[in-house]
Amino acid sequence: MWGAVPSAKNAFLCTSDQSTIFGFQPTQFSIGLAFDGESLWVGDLATNSVLVRSWTRNQTIPGVFSPMGIAFDGSDMWVANSGNNTVTRIRASDGVPIASYTTGQNPWGVAFDGANVWVTNSVSNTVSKF
């Protein structure tokens, strides 16, 4: 299980007995957290990027705008960009952005239900379906 301690500015992977296996320190402006089965993905507002971390991966993906929610659909990550009212689809295997889609105003949360990606839009009070 992945977790985060905002006051300590740490993200970590724990076993069921709460032993820490892996941890790293994201920036103080990290929001959104998702796991792709291998790596932890964290949106970083300070650098408009997504941090991807694991034992074998240390990648920073630029080109997102005020990243908030992040969700994994089984092959791709979806990042809500509150800064430009879009959601960006990123191939999880190598971090390459595939496409960006228009959402409502100020997209925030992202979820995958097994068939569709859903994005909540906090200013327009709507939900976008992809």
Res 64: pLDDT: 94
pTM over 0.85: no
- The tokens describing 53, both together, are 């971390």
Question: Domain containing 102: what range?
Answer: 30-129
Residues 49, 58: Cα–Cα separation, whole Å: 13
Q: Give a yes or no: residue 90 inside a domain.
A: yes
CATH number, domain with residue 72: 2.120.10.30
Q: Give a yes or no: residue 88 inside a domain.
A: yes
Burial of 59 (0-12, 13-18, 19+ CB in 10 A): middle
Q: Give a yes or no: residue 84 inside a domain.
A: yes
Task: Band the pLDDT of 19: cuts 50, 70, 90.
Answer: low
pLDDT tens digits along 28-78: 666 788 989 888 898 988 889 998 988 788 899 999 999 999 999 999 999
For residue 108, pLDDT over 60 is answered with yes
- The tokens describing 17, both together, are 């007995």
Q: Provide the Cα torsion 29, 31, 34, 39; round to 10°.
A: 0
For residue 110, pLDDT over 70 is answered with yes
The total number of structural domains that make up the chain: 1
Q: Give a yes or no: residue 20 inside a domain.
A: no
Q: Give a yes or no: residue 2 inside a domain.
A: no
